[in-house]
């Protein structure tokens, strides 16, 4: 009996020891993932930092084209830079990003202040984008972007208070100045002339949409096939501007002196309209005319004088426009009807409508965008000769799908 008790006690101790040994193993790790909050971003381009508290590998998820995260992943504790582009809208915008690790997902709401609404009063102390709605425009300047072609200032950049004292800035009278020398880099190696010119970008800052094509970055004429109207951002359009041409070239070939394009509609390869101002050296006043270029294979370029003559030997136009004198133009397209209106204070409007039914733009695949600024039409003058115009208003609209 005594022996039996000893054996039972031994077995009890052995089993107990075995159980205690199993229970003393390492405790299972508890996943930790937490992120700090972030305050509202200003309407300008801005970067803020958040901290990540973690004991595991984590990564980010972000479907917002205006928000950039860096880095996008990490292990254990770290930080993330959250960058936003300038808000081109006059409403607050929000976005959501996630930091994910294991089975944990932390959501971060990004809020960005609205762009200040224009009061209609031009302020020379503010950048052009604070005085004009440039939310759907980029800008070409004749600087080398590195491949021998001109720099494009993006929609995001131009709306982040961009200005350039050489080419694009606010004048002391509150106007938006475009200044372009004869010498400089061009938008492509096949282009003949320099420009400081806005290009319509209906996609805004959504760079996932391609620049070219019948897509949500461009518009089409209302006479285009229904499939193109549905695929484009909008159809038909109107652009109006009030400006003064301050200076034109005075050197170079007689065929090129004094001319500058101040507004356009550009298609794939052709230009349904280009509006010119031209003042010759010996004339006190300048004239206005425009060109209509049908699509390739649909006829020759057409020219229409509105004030004075486009001739290189034109006499002083009797009712011309002086350098520094304000005038307005409006380009309007409805279907195949293209109308140009020139307005001046105290004078009757000059209106010209042309029918584009035979110009080819009602065929499929033709996309449109407005351009405004100065497109120097002289490449034979002195390198530092230039054209300059100051815009006091610039507005555009389209018919939405």
Model confidence over 244-303: pLDDT tens digits?
999 999 999 999 999 999 999 999 999 999 999 999 999 999 999 999 999 999 999 999
Predicted confidence at residue 276, as pLDDT, reads: 98
Cα–Cα distance measured from residue 262 to residue 275, given in angstroms and rounded to the nearest whole number: 6
Model confidence over 205-224: pLDDT tens digits?
A: 999 999 999 999 999 999 99
Domain 128-400 classification at class level: mainly beta
Cα separation, 213 vs 209, in Å, equals: 10
Please tell me whether residue 387 adopts helix, strand or coil conformation.
strand
For residue 76, what are its two tokens? 């254990």
d(CA 87, CA 47): 13
What beta strand segments (E) does 92-233 contain?
93-101, 104-112, 137-144, 150-153, 168-170, 176-181, 195-200, 219-220
What's the confidence (pLDDT) of residue 65? 86
Q: What is the pLDDT of residue 44?
A: 77
Query: What is the DSSP pairing of strand 234-247 with strand 219-220?
Result: parallel
Residue intervals of the chain classified under CATH 2.60.120.200 are 128-400
The ranges of the chain with pLDDT < 70 are: 1-26, 116-120
**Residues 351, 357, 358, 362, Cα dihedral to 10°:** 120
The angle formed by the CA atoms of residues 240, 246 and 252, to the nearest 5 degrees, is 115
At 337-374, the pLDDT tens digits run 999 999 999 999 999 999 999 999 999 999 999 999 99
> pTM for this structure?
0.76
Q: What confidence score (pLDDT) does residue 11 get?
A: 45
Q: In angstroms, rounded to a whole number, what is the distance separating the alpha carbons of residues 87 and 97?
A: 18
Query: CA-CA distance, 255 to 380, in Å (whole number)?
Result: 10
Quick one: DSSP state of residue 172?
T
Does the domain spanning 33-112 belong to CATH 2.60.40.10?
Answer: yes
Amino acid 119: pLDDT:
58
pLDDT at 12: 45
- Residues of CATH 2.60.40.10 domain(s) within the chain? 33-112
Q: Name the token pair of 245.
A: 């041409």
Residue positions counted in the chain:
401
Q: Show the tokens assigned to 49.
A: 């930092």
> What is the predicted pLDDT for the residue at 26?
62
d(CA 303, CA 40): 53
Q: How far apart are CA 12 and CA 372, in angstroms?
A: 94
């Amino acid at each position: 009996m005594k022996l039996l008790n000893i054996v039972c006690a031994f077995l009890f101790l052995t089993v107990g020891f075995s159980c205690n040994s199993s229970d003393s193993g390492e405790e299972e790790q508890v996943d930790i993932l937490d992120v700090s909050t972030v305050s509202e971003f200003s309407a300008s381009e801005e970067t803020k930092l958040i901290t990540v508290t973690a004991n595991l590998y984590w990564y980010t998820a972000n479907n917002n084209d205006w928000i950039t995260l860096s880095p996008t992943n990490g292990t254990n504790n770290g930080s993330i830079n959250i960058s936003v582009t300038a808000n081109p809208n006059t409403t607050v915008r929000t976005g959501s990003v996630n930091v994910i690790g294991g089975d944990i997902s932390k959501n971060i709401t990004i809020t960005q202040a609205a762009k200040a609404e224009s009061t209609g009063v031009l302020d020379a102390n503010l950048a052009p984008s604070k005085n004009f709605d440039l939310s759907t425009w980029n800008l070409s300047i004749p600087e080398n972007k590195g491949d021998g072609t001109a720099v494009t200032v993006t929609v995001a950049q131009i709306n982040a208070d961009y200005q350039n004292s050489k080419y694009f800035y606010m004048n002391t009278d509150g106007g938006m100045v475009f200044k372009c020398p004869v010498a400089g880099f061009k938008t492509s190696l096949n282009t003949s002339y320099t420009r400081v010119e806005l290009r319509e970008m209906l996609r805004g800052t959504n760079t996932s949409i391609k620049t070219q094509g019948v897509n949500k970055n461009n518009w089409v004429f209302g006479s285009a096939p229904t499939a193109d109207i549905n695929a484009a951002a909008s159809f038909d359009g109107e652009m109006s501007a009030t400006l003064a041409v301050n200076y034109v070239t005075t050197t170079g070939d007689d065929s090129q002196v004094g001319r500058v394009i101040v507004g356009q509609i550009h298609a794939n390869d052709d230009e349904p309209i280009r509006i010119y101002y031209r003042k010759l050296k010996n004339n006190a006043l300048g004239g206005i005319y425009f060109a209509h270029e049908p699509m390739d294979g649909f006829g020759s370029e057409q020219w229409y004088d509105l004030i004075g003559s486009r001739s290189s030997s034109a006499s002083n136009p009797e009712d011309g426009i002086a350098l520094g004198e304000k005038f307005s133009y409006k380009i309007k397209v409805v279907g195949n009807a293209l109308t140009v209106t020139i307005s001046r204070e105290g004078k009757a409007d000059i209106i010209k409508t042309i029918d584009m039914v035979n110009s080819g733009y009602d065929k499929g695949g033709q996309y449109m965008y407005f351009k405004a600024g100065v497109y120097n039409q002289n490449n034979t003058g002195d390198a530092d000769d230039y054209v300059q115009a100051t815009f006091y208003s610039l507005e555009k609209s389209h018919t939405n799908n």
